[in-house]
Amino acid sequence: MITRERAEFLIDRFKDRKIAVIGDVILDKYLWGDVERISPEAPVPVVEVKRETYNLGGASNVAWNLSALGVKTVILGVVGKDENGKLIEKMLLDKNITPNLIIDNSRPTIEKTRIIAVSQQLLRIDRESREDLSTPIKKEILKSLKDISSDVEGFVISDYGKGVIFEEIVKFCVSTGKPIFVDPKPKNFNLYKNITIMTPNKKEAYECVKASTNMPLEEVGYRIMEQLSMNTLLITLGGEGMALFEGKSVKRIPAKARKVFDVTGAGDTVISILAASKLSGGSWEESATLANYGAGYVVGEIGTAVVTPDILLDTVLSY
């Protein structure tokens, strides 16, 4: 748990933090409309589009979350030589995020288009390449990472499994001795040895160690920690809250959502608040609790949402 005084103290210190985000940069596109009939061509709804909006997604949503919390944020990622890449850079600058975007001529900027009607997501369309990065692009990423590393307090690795995270990135971050917070994809599980903490959801946690669904969560968590030589792990459990592993102890943190409209970006909010709070002097339990409150807020909003310091404190105080 966390007291009002501690919440106020930690949240106030967010503005003094500086964090680097590394990962898969994504443009989230939303088509909002109404459904009044079924298509005569196939048994599918016809959506009459009323408006179109864009948000930062993937690693860039993590950066947006951190910046919204008041954290000085720099992001390192890959975009294509296209209009979406230019749009992401402009949106990052507009949100006071320092962009370090490597342009890869061989791949498009990742775009996820969501079609929404009557407060429901009807369909998602992805445009992306998940091929491994070329050697020259990897070298550019590592050079940029080395350039920014001395000026930040910690790293958030936001892995959406699109090919941007590779072994040398993790090894370099570990070599700096600075805290490393990872939102993982199971296929890259073995890359994350000696990091500070990772925040998989329950499904990802089981996939990471190829565990059967009847294995107790505690055993899954301990396997992850042992295989990656970690002392701390946070598994998010959706409506069941979170499980925080510290050494040999496990604490359950109940969910705080009063309503759930859209889980898009909830994991990004969790790792952002967790990192900001821990680097501000919070304990793991305090930091996970604040992250839990933040996630409870964003799942009650339609579309990608972020939490400001005022919203986070108000959410804590409302319970």
Catalytic positions are: 268
Q: Give CA–CA dist 186/208, Å, rounded.
A: 5
Angle at CA of residue 252, ends 248 and 257, nearest 5°: 155
The label of the residue with tokens 């990471």 reads: 208
Contact call for residues 231 and 269 (beta carbons, < 8 A) = no
Torsion of CA 23, 289, 265, 315, to 10 degrees: -140
Q: Give CA–CA dist 246/251, Å, rounded.
A: 8
In the numeric block, which tokens belong to residue 50?
């009323």
Contact call for residues 52 and 87 (beta carbons, < 8 A) = no
Contact call for residues 5 and 90 (beta carbons, < 8 A) = no
Contacts of 319 (CB under 8 A, 6+ apart): 256, 293
Q: How far is CA 181 from the centre of its chain?
A: 10
Strand order in the sheet with 232-236: 232-236, 242-246, 249-253
Q: Output phi, psi for 73, to 5 deg.
A: -125, 135
**HSE on the CB side for 11, CA within 13 Å?**
25
Q: Give CA–CA dist 305/269, Å, rounded.
A: 9
